Structure 1
Amino acid sequence: MTATEIIAQPGTPADTYLTENRDKLRRVLAEQGAILLRGFEVGGVDGLDGAVRAFSGSAPLTYAERSSPRSTIKGQVYTSTDYPPAEEIFLHNENSYQAVWPHTLYFFCIEPALTQGATPLADIREVYRRIDPTVREEFERRGWRVVRNFHPEFGVPWDQTFGTDDRAAVERYCRGKGIEPYWRPDGGLRTTAVRKAVHTHPGSGTPVWFNHATFFHVTTLAPEVQEGLREIFTEEDLPTNTYYGDGGRIPEEVMDHLRAAYRASTTRFDWQRDDVLIVDNMLAAHGREPFTGPRKIAVAMAEASDG
């Protein structure tokens, strides 16, 4: 997938352009999956908030059920995932492990990296086509299961993930979102949810490979990270892991096949300062290359969807 690139006339405000061309650009996004705005006057983080409102017609969403560390820049605009620069972030669709997710994503380049640091994109229609039909059918029949363990003093704590330290409130939230909570003896929390692996795009009805089954599987982590986690935790206590929906293990060769399907469908571009990337989250997976330098990308999410 290559984002449709639009180069601005000098001095063109991004929010004005999006307002005036909204209908045409919405059609482009629904077909291509991503739009890159380059050379526009954005106006910083406040301007990104205005661009979201202009294009999505609503305010940015709050980042809920956090699975990775992020910092709030202002309002509902966040940093991209705060992982160490040397680590790759594998391709994924934002919040596809949840019952409700953002349909449209916005990335704003405050400061590009010195080297690498791209936000690669993969067309998940193409990912779906590249996956062996027998593998797809297995997931469609059985679904996929995500198990998350929130350990005290390790990773994102459960009270930050759910935005409250009230256990009863967490349980109510989980019941409403199809999540099974279990309070661990050490004061932590384990959650289990079963989701669909294949969805249909709400605009076109095209099947898309929309899930976190690959991203959250322990074997997708770098080998040294896998080894370190397995030394600390038993399999059932890993911070995240995925299975078939009935709890069966996903074979390693299947995970290798899924990762290969994503990588074969991937394209990249180099960020420039003040670029705005708009992504249809149900058409394009995104990730992050390792990088050097100060790279800072702001992220906003909009248009809550349940498929």
Structure 2
Amino acid sequence: MTITETGPLRGSLAACVTGSGPVRAHIDAHRRELRELLTEHGAVLLRGFDSGGAEGLDGTVRSFSGSAPLTYAERSSPRSTITGQVYTSTDYPADEEIFLHNENSYQAAWPLTLYFACLAEAHTEGATPLADIREVYRSLDPALREEFERRGWRVVRNFHGDFGVPWQETFSTSDRDRVAAYCRDKGLQVHWRPDGGLRTTALRQAVHTHPVTGDRVWFNHATFFHVTSLAPEVGEGLREIFPDEDLPTNTYYGDGGVIPDSVMDELRAAYRAASTRFDWRLGDVLVVDNMRAAHGREPFTGPRRIAVAMAEPSDAR
């Protein structure tokens, strides 16, 4: 295999492996080296191989992670199942950016490894940018970091019956008792709304230690879920419909205190400064260390279609 560090991925998230033939056979033959690259760089782009499309991604996960893909649980964004535990990337309008985030970092447990496979290229843009969350952590004002480490962060989600992802889809059940049991197990507070909707509240940590490298990483959804991270017209529109406490998602300090807009501005700037991008090619497979690299999505035109899968559950603190 050929490894380059000056190819489509640049900076610290830089390992691009090129070759030919079935990608699963290549992984089986070089698994140890590929795992080392993932630990060193945080992301590995496999290019030029026969990936097998969406159906092949399941086998790619099993070869690279040594386990089956995970079910997408406690959903926060619309996805469609392609096959088994392989899903579409977030089904948002093509003209909207999806800000950088770490998959399921608002949950009590999350996937340690993410997989993306390009099924169709965009005509313009459509990259899956990556940001080194070690660098995000290091670049933040120490006082800002300390405040989040001391107070934690809180996510409030409101499930309205006629707006957004319904709680039945998020929790894959319409049984309230099952939802309540799940939430108790995962550290979520539950409040059933008079209109049949649901509010959940969770207190989480903002900073974690990578379970393999020991690095301190900025691993949370505090920025992504904050109302000011939405496109201005979207955030303003939501605030015209709902008071802040009833917004579909919003974040606070762990004690419920409001996070100042200036803090959110600094956080978003830190993610963008730590980010890199590449243009997808048909058949590309991207493997991401979810506790090393945040990911997002550029707006795009054309038929862009990316399959995603998750593996290796973790609750590292």
Q: Same fold (TM over 0.5)?
A: yes
Q: How far is the alpha carbon of 1:116 from its aligned partner?
A: 0.1
Aligned 1:224-243 pairs, distance under 5 A: 224-243=233-252
1:33-55: CA deviation from partner (whole Å, max 9, x where unpaired): 00000010111222111010000
Partner in structure 2 of residue 208 of structure 1: 217
Partner in structure 2 of residue 145 of structure 1: 154
1:109-161: CA deviation from partner (whole Å, max 9, x where unpaired): 00010000000000000000111100000000000000000000111000100
Partner in structure 2 of residue 59 of structure 1: 68
CA distance in 2, matches of 1:161, 1:25: 34
Q: Which runs of 5+ in 1 are unaligned?
A: none
Partner in structure 1 of residue 105 of structure 2: 96
Q: Which runs of 5+ in 2 are unaligned?
A: 1-11
Aligned 1:61-100 pairs, distance under 5 A: 61-100=70-109
Whichever residue aligns with residue 23 of structure 1, its letter is R
Partner in structure 2 of residue 120 of structure 1: 129
Q: 1:175 aligns with which of 174, 179, 184?
A: 184
CA distance in 2, matches of 1:134, 1:270: 36
Indicate yes or no: 2:131 matched with 1:131: no
Q: How far is the alpha carbon of 1:101 from its aligned partner?
A: 0.3
Q: 1:7 aligns with which of 18, 21, 24?
A: 18
Q: How far is the alpha carbon of 1:5 from its aligned partner?
A: 0.5
What is the aligned residue count? 305
Q: TM-score, normalised by structure 1?
A: 0.98
Partner in structure 2 of residue 258 of structure 1: 267
CA distance in 1, matches of 2:215, 2:283: 33
Q: 2:300 aligns with which of 272, 291, 303?
A: 291
Partner in structure 1 of residue 8 of structure 2: none
Whichever residue aligns with residue 177 of structure 1, its letter is K
Partner in structure 1 of residue 193 of structure 2: 184
Whichever residue aligns with residue 94 of structure 1, its letter is E
CA distance in 1, matches of 2:244, 2:216: 32
Q: Is 1:108–1:274's contact at 8 Å kept on the other side of the alignment?
A: yes
CA distance in 2, matches of 1:124, 1:65: 23
